[in-house]
Structure 1
Amino acid sequence: MPWLDTDRALTRNSYYAATAARGAAHPPLSGSATCDVAVVGGGLAGLSAALDLKARGFDVALLEAREIGFGASGRNGGQAIHGLACDQDVIEAQLGLDEARRVWAMSIEALDLLRARISDHRIACDWRDGYLGLATSARKGRALAGWADRIEAVYGYPLTRITPAEVPDWIASERFHSGVHDPQSGHLHPLKYTYGLAEAAQRAGVRLHEGTPVLGLQTHRDGAVLRTPQGDLQARQVLLAGNVYLQDIAPGLAPELGPRIMPVGTYIACSEPLGEARATALVPSRSAVCDTDFVLDYFRTTADHRVLYGGRVSYSTMTPADLPESMRQRMLTTFPQLAGVKVDYAWGGFVDITMNRAPDFGRLAAAPQVYYLQGFSGHGLALTGLAGRLVSEAMAGDAGRFDLLGRLKHRPFPGGRALRTPALVLGMAWYRLRDLIG
């Protein structure tokens, strides 16, 4: 399990793990058990689905191979942003404008749902409103302004334009040309939020089992049987929400899903505490920030006044050398005034991406009682919550919204298992070159 091994090593120095209080562990599944719905994966998608399914009256058991929040759910950049990882024109090309508007509206609903869950379950996860999208050149600034104009005109979503003269009011960096601000998006501590969802699900009566990888899935007319190291679970319906790790732990579980996603390594650093005044001076609105490069940088200040900075990716699955210093240097490209600041934490792990960066939701062709959610492509903090709700709707008999997203078509990555990673590395090198050209 090479990706899992790499993740375990990388997350040992995670700011999130160091600052989130984990509750009691959940015992592995032992012996034979039954349920209405078996959820595979203890991240945000699986937990959100389990919580909604339980609210609808289903008996739910959740199986997590490692521990709750192990994957991307517990170590991402913490940014919850409008839209999907792909541009809306990808959705328009496949579904048409009217359905693309529905998809956009669902992405905004996902933000509302995130806030509601934080409030309803009293999850202390450092939520803060606000997102800044910043362009690194005049050409990219014109493209960003054009995109914002169209999103406002076609999708009815207002965004504040930031002119070059106004940029210093929003960020203490000379790297950026112009931008947009969205007050409805925002950021949080993702591991605290994930733990909060798990506690809410357990209080509601969901059975949570950690240390329980699913080694086999046998479907039959009335449901499925999931085989684990110490027992088995019979369910009428199944949700596979393991994302990239599903193929790493049990590649034979749903082999048809693997070719449509690729693992991409993402990396984050967190500075030492700066103090409130200095942190606020960097980003006065304390919003989450992303640039508009294809291989983007993303960063924000934390509740304890650090800078949390992400920006390295690895399409080869190889971890960058000297990760803390590498990430510190990247942070200095945006904030050179932090030259004397230490990096206290540096970590990373894998996310799953699709070819077109659109999410990949559906049912297994040979077993429609088995649903899957994957391909959030680094944009899943809010969308995973909505995805769980759509699955619960579908399992309860109203599949309209789930099937809308399920209509998005996904191609396998070219090159097969042997060549698709080198092909992706070469392709991303071209996009990096374009970013450098400006």
Structure 2
Amino acid sequence: MNLLHANDQTGAYPPSYYAATRTPLAPFPALQGETRADVCIVGGGYTGLSAALHLAQRGYDVVLLEAHKLGFGASGRNGGQVGSGQRQDQDWIEAAVGAEAAHKLWDLAEESKALVKNLIQSHAMPVRFYPGIAHACWTDAEVRHTHAYAEKLQRDYGYSHLELLDRDGIQALIGSKVYKGGEIDRDAGHLHPLNYALGLARAAADAGARLHELSEVIRIDHGAAPVVHTARGVVRAKQLILAGNGYLGNLAPKVAAKVMPINNFILATEPLGERARDILSQPVAVADTKFVVNYWRLSEDNRLLFGGGESYGYRFPDLIKAVSKPMLQVYPQLKDTRIDYAWGGTLAITMNRMPCFTRPYANTLSASGYSGHGVAMATLAGKILAEATAAQSERFDLMASLPQPRFPGGVALRWPMLVLAMTWYSMRDRLGL
């Protein structure tokens, strides 16, 4: 099944709150005929757009191909959270690669947050960065672990932006009695993800990158000089960057063996007005400790944007039903609240939930599999891909050195095996284990 078309209308954004409130950007033409470029980029999300921007700023002739609209995929549909650290915690990373490399990976993650903030400011993007992400714990054991980890980050990494919360503190912040404690990360934050993607697109185009929408790649001839085919055009490039993430499909089997698409869902309530302060008393985003994570924040017009739910098929389920259940578990007081928007999207995960940086073919680089931690890291990935294209590969090689196992069963069997695993972990969530 081609996920580019399984759940969405060709060339259109999903009916999301983000699409309804996006900043207008003139469309970019589809690729027509044959062209040459220093670098061809496949995928118009954060990774591809950031790579296009940074390469164009270095003087490269860049062609970017997007199958639908720029920011169409996970980059324009996600929860908008710009988190700290890597997707795995530093304990895991230290055990995997050692203390020295773990500190370098922490520094990269910190740079990724700063890069998002700096790009918004330096390119005058129509996007506001709101500081603060709260982490809400369901059990006392999770609270103890969260607080101990905050102490570790302060002690070993000098990270002093975490505010610890007890039961009263988390409940005063969230307006729900289901959580036992947590923390607020004051240096993390959240934003309008689609407007950020469109801001990157405008910046890349202004820098000289040639961007093409409605230009789905149907074949790639890999080799010393990659040739990229769409239905109506061809790009002959010196180098290729694969930035399709969960929508890459069968274009790169070597990437697909380690990076797998899954779906996630978000809904937006009607504007809550004065009730919004009873939902979140501060303008922070929230993510909880469920394996199937619940995450939410308030929009600028005081809607609750709540993400979560689970689905074990490539096609989207009844989205309102899927997300309303976990939302009402947290906020039963919203039972009679109208839902104005509901949408799904495809992201990509890896076996170990760390991003997959790889050189799958000659003169080809790829970064994907951000596993729900992609707003900041995908932006930095684009910059790192640009560096590696220019033969400055130290940071790319550091990311590529992370252990990245293949999914068991290969591409054909990875999905049913993931279903079994996700069913088990979601059952643990429901049982409170």
Q: What is the TM-score when the length of structure 1 is the normalising length?
A: 0.94
Q: Match for 1:384: what amino acid?
A: A
Displacement of 1:163 in angstroms is: 1.4
Task: Tell me the SS of whatever aligns to 1:20.
Answer: coil
1:343 corresponds, among 339, 345, 352, to 339
2:37 corresponds, among 31, 35, 38, to 35
1:20 corresponds, among 14, 19, 22, to 22
The reply to whether residue 354 of structure 1 matches residue 357 of structure 2 is no
Task: Tell me the SS of whatever aligns to 1:8.
Answer: coil
Give, in whole Å, the separation in 2 of the partners of 1:166 and 1:74: 32
Alignment map for 1:29-178 (pairs within 5 Å): 29-158=31-160, 159-178=162-181
Instruction: Report the counterpart of residue 300 of structure 2 in structure 1.
Output: 303
Instruction: Report the counterpart of residue 286 of structure 1 in structure 2.
Output: 283
- Which deviates more from structure 2 when the two are superposed, residues 141-150 or residues 295-304? 141-150
Instruction: Report the counterpart of residue 437 of structure 1 in structure 2.
Output: 432
Give, in whole Å, the separation in 2 of the partners of 1:319 and 1:215: 24
The reply to whether residue 273 of structure 1 matches residue 267 of structure 2 is no
Displacement of 1:264 in angstroms is: 1.1
Give, in whole Å, the separation in 1 of the partners of 2:323 and 2:221: 44
1:425 corresponds, among 412, 419, 424, to 419
Give, in whole Å, the separation in 1 of the partners of 2:288 and 2:44: 30
Displacement of 1:317 in angstroms is: 2.5
Displacement of 1:372 in angstroms is: 0.4
Give, in whole Å, the separation in 1 of the partners of 2:272 and 2:100: 47
Give, in whole Å, the separation in 1 of the partners of 2:412 and 2:357: 25
- Which deviates more from structure 2 when the two are superposed, residues 195-204 or residues 162-171? 162-171
106 and 376 in structure 1: CA distance in 2 versus 1, 3 angstrom threshold: same
Q: What is the TM-score when the length of structure 2 is the normalising length?
A: 0.95
- Which deviates more from structure 2 when the two are superposed, residues 349-358 or residues 228-237? 228-237
Percent of residue pairs bearing the same amino acid type: 43
Runs (5+) with no aligned partner, structure 1: none
What CA deviation, in whole Å up to 9, does each residue of 1:92-111 have, x standing for no partner? 23321111111111111111
Instruction: Report the counterpart of residue 414 of structure 1 in structure 2.
Output: 408
- Which deviates more from structure 2 when the two are superposed, residues 11-20 or residues 185-194? 11-20
Contact 2:319 2:344 in 1 (8 A): no
Q: Match for 2:256: what amino acid?
A: G
Displacement of 1:314 in angstroms is: 2.2
Give, in whole Å, the separation in 2 of the partners of 1:237 and 1:199: 23
Instruction: Report the counterpart of residue 198 of structure 1 in structure 2.
Output: 201
Task: Tell me the SS of whatever aligns to 1:61.
Answer: strand
Displacement of 1:338 in angstroms is: 1.7
Q: Match for 1:125: what amino acid?
A: V
Instruction: Report the counterpart of residue 183 of structure 1 in structure 2.
Output: 186
Give, in whole Å, the separation in 1 of the partners of 2:121 and 2:253: 39
Matched length: 429
The reply to whether residue 327 of structure 1 matches residue 323 of structure 2 is yes
413 and 316 in structure 1: CA distance in 2 versus 1, 3 angstrom threshold: farther
What CA deviation, in whole Å up to 9, does each residue of 1:7-35 have, x standing for no partner? 31696431111111332211111112111
Contact 1:130 1:181 in 2 (8 A): yes
Instruction: Report the counterpart of residue 261 of structure 1 in structure 2.
Output: 259
Give, in whole Å, the separation in 2 of the partners of 1:168 and 1:89: 28
Task: Tell me the SS of whatever aligns to 2:310.
Answer: strand
Displacement of 1:83 in angstroms is: 1.5
Contact 2:33 2:232 in 1 (8 A): yes
What CA deviation, in whole Å up to 9, does each residue of 1:150-205 have, x standing for no partner? 22222221211111232233221101100111111111111111111111111111
Give, in whole Å, the separation in 1 of the partners of 2:139 and 2:314: 30
Give, in whole Å, the separation in 1 of the partners of 2:2 and 2:396: 32
Contact 2:87 2:353 in 1 (8 A): yes
Q: Match for 2:377: what amino acid?
A: L
Contact 2:269 2:337 in 1 (8 A): yes
Give, in whole Å, the separation in 2 of the partners of 1:319 and 1:65: 20
1:227 corresponds, among 222, 226, 229, to 229
**Which of structure 1's runs of 4+ aligned residues deviate more than 4 A?**
none
What CA deviation, in whole Å up to 9, does each residue of 1:105-134 have, x standing for no partner? 111111110001111111112321111001
Give, in whole Å, the separation in 2 of the partners of 1:237 and 1:429: 41
Displacement of 1:217 in angstroms is: 2.2
Task: Tell me the SS of whatever aligns to 2:189.
Answer: strand
Give, in whole Å, the separation in 1 of the partners of 2:321 and 2:419: 23
- Which deviates more from structure 2 when the two are superposed, residues 173-182 or residues 253-262? 253-262
Instruction: Report the counterpart of residue 5 of structure 2 in structure 1.
Output: 5
1:372 corresponds, among 358, 366, 376, to 366
2:386 corresponds, among 388, 392, 401, to 392
Displacement of 1:312 in angstroms is: 1.0
Give, in whole Å, the separation in 1 of the partners of 2:170 and 2:63: 49
Runs (5+) with no aligned partner, structure 2: none
